[in-house]
Amino acid sequence: MFSSPTKQKTTPQNFKSALTRSIQYIKGVGPIRAEAFESVGVSTLENLLEYYPRGYLDRRNIVAIRDLHLTEWEVTIVGRIAFADLVRGRRGRHRLIAVISDGTGSVQCVWFQGTSYWHRILRSGLTVAASGVVRDYDGFQFTHPAIDILGEDDDNRLYQTGQIVSLYPSKLELRKVGLDSRSIRRSIHAALEIVKDDLTEPFPDEFLKAANVPHKAEAVAAIHFPQDEDALASGWNRIKYEELFFFQLLFALRRRAVKAPERGLPFETVGAVTRKVLKSLPFELTEGQKDVLHEIREDLQSPVAMQRLLQGEVGSGKTTIAVLAMAMAADSGYQSAMMAPTELLAQQHAENLLPLAEAAGLELRLVRGKQKVAERREILTAIENGRTTLAIGTHALIEEKIKFHKLGLVIIDEQHRFGVVQRTLLRQKGPMPHLLLMTATPIPRTLTLSHFGDIDVSILRELPVGPRKVKTLLRTGADRDKIYQFIIEKAQAGGRVFILCPLVEESEKIDTEAAIDYHKRVTSGVFRDFKVGLLHGRLKPEEKSKTLRSFRSGDINILVATPVVEVGVDVPDATVMLIENAERFGLSQLHQLRGRIGRKGQPAFCILLPGAQITEEARARMDALCETDDGFELAERDLTLRGGGEFFGTRQHGEIELRWANPEQDKALLLLAREQAFSLLENDPELKSVPQLRERFKQRHAHRLQFVSAG
């Protein structure tokens, strides 16, 4: 339907509209500054107008220095520089220290990079706005804060009179040529004057009216030069609405393409293989598992390809669902591939599924990144000729050398750890295999719509062992001796104890205990009478597996580990988990870690032991964990605390990523945009009735359609 746009070179004599004009030719820019602008992706006037502020300066969001406290989010202060100079540190390296005072107190700002530039720019008596995250290093401190100079133009007056001043991202490349917030504002003002007649509106008036947002030109002006807070909010809502609408249109297009009947592989047979696997299960399926299997079965029988996301708590039985889906594929003569993010998890899946596969007469092979040449050759041959029915592996499955005989089902475990490109590459190894994504991280509905808007969703809430009996406790350093004594008592009674540390080795940036040093200390100290294992990401796969086997069997009583155990470590007898520096972990991660204990339904204890200094946000996360063990409720709280952009962690190339909208805060806009986009495409598949909207989509988003088979 759409082809990707080609980038055309523009000159001052050759452009379709002022929007495509090079920024080099506007007042105050020139070739040197234009080159600096290109380093941040700004080359045309349109790019410049979409270089939106990182924040705003007004009386409402300025924090007095006396009111500063530890935080995980950026705050802004305004004051005068009382001191700024270079200080020689260890190994002869210099750092720049500046002290800012605002009449209520003083705070230190430190730079380790760009010190020569800041030493030249910052001087005593200058009025500045400093924005950054507050840390405590023998006193509150900003490290590498964003600095906006207010003492040399109208910004200081604007702030004093209560007007709203836009502040812009300004990397060192920009600052070196004088492009700070002041000069960027001037450039944008000049650009607005040039393009005011060219900012056309791609959306029909009735769409904008329903969303209660202004036209694009009005919105852009309000964002850069807000007259008041209402105009600013309306401007941003217009930008968010456009972002949400086009992503929902992309979902609608992808869903329409994938659901085309001629592209599917219907699995019409449920026969001997599925019955054998069911008979081999050492437990009865829960009602929740039966319901999900019914949904998957209907998908697999359909002439359109399945695209389903399976959400379920740790231990809810997602792997059981996966193996039964693979059995259904085998009954119809198709192979299945199951990809996991780590070798540890892939190996555990292979070990757990092997008995079921053998009982059903299926060959299962494990595909890893590092295998002996002869072994790898034999595995590749078995997969290519169809002898291997179930291929379990890591990203090694997407290697070009691996070819499937008849791939019909692709399963991605812990799907958020893979990018769309990786999922696409695996799915492209078959004509149009069914896709099942799995995650143990419950996802709020708004994030499901904004990140998986073209995928059906199944949820496993019920645990096979019933509700977990895990008690979560928040303790302090003063309780450490009591905690260690508790661990000793549990280990003596034959229990298994996890001790979690955030890092593998000491870091100058993060003052926390490292697993390796921690292990050395406790094995020669408080736990010297016990076998204490060590597990972290840098161990070889064979070492990890050996350590885990010893921990499961009881040869090791206590396991000191990094968050590598968050995914794929199954030790049913584990009853205690101590999480050191718990403030370093996100809420979702803490919940996943907690899910590793009490897996047989036995009473268990998760002990959170933060460092001496914790932020209000970290305290809120730990309090939430102590208050509930409902993963879906915690996911909603996590979204509220962190916002949609941070929920999934690092996104990968091709992924749907919202830059401006927050799915929870902008829920009404999201739902409206989704309804409008899906309805528009249903009634007008070619978008002939909205040519400007169609053209805008082609320019900005059509390239993402190459991931149409990824899910």
Give every CB contact of residue 500 below 8 A, 6+ residues apart in sequence: 561, 562, 563, 565, 577, 578, 579, 580, 593
In order, the DSSP letters of 31-94 are HHHHHHHHTTT--BHHHHHT---SEEESGGGBPPGGG----SS-EEEEEEEEEEEEEE-GGG-E
- Residue 383, pLDDT > 50, answer yes
pTM: 0.78
**Residues 600-608, mean pLDDT to the nearest whole number:** 92
CB atoms within 10 A of CB 35: 14
Mean pLDDT of the chain: 86
Residue 577: Cβ-neighbour burial (10 angstroms; 0-12, 13-18, 19+): buried
3-state secondary structure of 487: helix
Strand spans (E) along 423-548: 434-439, 456-460, 470-474, 496-500, 532-535
Beta carbons of 250 and 278 less than 8 angstroms apart:
no
pLDDT of 65-78, one tens digit each?
999 998 888 899 99
Q: Cα separation of 456 and 440, whole Å?
A: 16
Q: What token pair was written down for 597?
A: 């204990």
Range picked from 134-138, 535-539, 556-560 for highest mean pLDDT: 556-560
Q: Please state the φ and ψ torsions of residue 336, each to the nearest 5 degrees.
A: -130, 145
Per mean pLDDT, which range of 471-485, 535-549, 604-618, 647-661 is the poorest? 647-661
- Which parts of 122-228 fold into alpha helices (H)? 154-160, 172-175, 181-195, 205-211, 216-224
pLDDT of 301-314, one tens digit each?
988 889 899 998 87
Q: Cα separation of 10 and 700, whole Å?
A: 18
CB atoms within 10 A of CB 531: 15
Q: How many residues does the chain have?
A: 711
Q: What token pair was written down for 686?
A: 């070619």
End-to-end Cα, the chain, rounded Å? 18
Q: Which CATH architecture has domain 470-628?
A: 3-Layer(aba) Sandwich (3.40)
Per mean pLDDT, which range of 13-27, 471-485, 529-543 is the poorest? 13-27
Q: What token pair was written down for 419?
A: 């990018």
Q: Cα separation of 20 and 33, whole Å?
A: 17
3-state secondary structure of 133: coil
Residue with tokens 């929740």: 288
521: part of which helix (H) or strand (E)?
helix 515-523
Q: Cα separation of 547 and 564, whole Å?
A: 13
In this structure, what is the dihedral angle of CA atoms 145, 639, 595, 350, given to the nearest 10 degrees? -90
Q: How confident is the model at residue 152 (pLDDT cuts 50, 70, 90)?
A: low
Q: Cα separation of 255 and 258, whole Å?
A: 5
**Residues 205-218, mean pLDDT to the nearest whole number:** 96
Same fold, 265-460 and 470-628: yes
Q: What token pair was written down for 156?
A: 């200081």
**Residues 369-380, mean pLDDT to the nearest whole number:** 88
- Residue 357, pLDDT > 80, answer yes
Overall CATH class of domain 1-53+168-199? mainly alpha
CA dihedral for 635, 637, 643, 649, sign (positive or negative) = negative
What does the domain layout of the chain look like in residue ranges?
1-53+168-199, 60-167, 265-460, 470-628
Please tell me what DSSP assigns to residue 566. G
- Residue 99, pLDDT > 90, answer yes
Q: Please state the φ and ψ torsions of residue 235, each to the nearest 5 degrees.
A: -60, -45
pLDDT of 653-711, one tens digit each?
445 567 898 888 898 999 999 999 999 999 999 999 999 999 999 988 877 765 544 44
- Which of 60, 96, 94 has its CA nearest to residue 81? 96
301: part of which helix (H) or strand (E)?
helix 287-301
Instruction: Annotate 256-284 with b (16+ C-beta within 10 A) or e (fewer).
Output: bebbeeeebbbbeeeeebbebbbeeeeee
pLDDT of 487-526, one tens digit each?
999 999 989 999 998 755 545 444 345 788 899 999 999 9
3-state secondary structure of 287: helix
Beta carbons of 616 and 70 less than 8 angstroms apart:
yes
Instruction: Give Rg (Cα) of the chain.
Output: 29
Q: Cα separation of 496 and 468, whole Å?
A: 17
Q: Cα separation of 584 and 565, whole Å?
A: 16
Alpha carbon of residue 337 to chain centroid:
24
Residue 176, CB-side half-sphere exposure with 13 Å CA sphere: 12
Q: How confident is the model at residue 5 (pLDDT cuts 50, 70, 90)?
A: very low
**Residues 179-205, mean pLDDT to the nearest whole number:** 91
pLDDT of 41-63, one tens digit each?
999 999 999 999 998 988 777 89
Beta carbons of 191 and 28 less than 8 angstroms apart:
no
- Residue 11, pLDDT > 50, answer no
| Residue type (1 letter), 572 | P
Q: What token pair was written down for 135?
A: 């840390």
Please tell me what DSSP assigns to residue 514. B
Residue with tokens 């792997």: 319
CA distances from 478 to 136, 474, 483, 494 (A): 21, 12, 10, 27
- Residue 625, pLDDT > 50, answer yes
**Residues 517-539, mean pLDDT to the nearest whole number:** 90
Q: Which CATH architecture has domain 60-167?
A: Beta Barrel (2.40)
CB atoms within 10 A of CB 687: 19
pLDDT of 473-490, one tens digit each?
999 999 999 999 999 999
One of 3.40.50.300, 2.60.260.20, 3.20.20.70, 3.30.70.2190 is the CATH number of 265-460, namely 3.40.50.300
- Residue 648, pLDDT > 50, answer no
Q: How confident is the model at residue 154 (pLDDT cuts 50, 70, 90)?
A: low
Q: Cα separation of 52 and 168, whole Å?
A: 7
Q: Cα separation of 680 and 690, whole Å?
A: 9
Beta carbons of 504 and 562 less than 8 angstroms apart:
yes
- Which of 214, 188, 212 has its CA nearest to residue 201? 214
CB atoms within 10 A of CB 82: 12
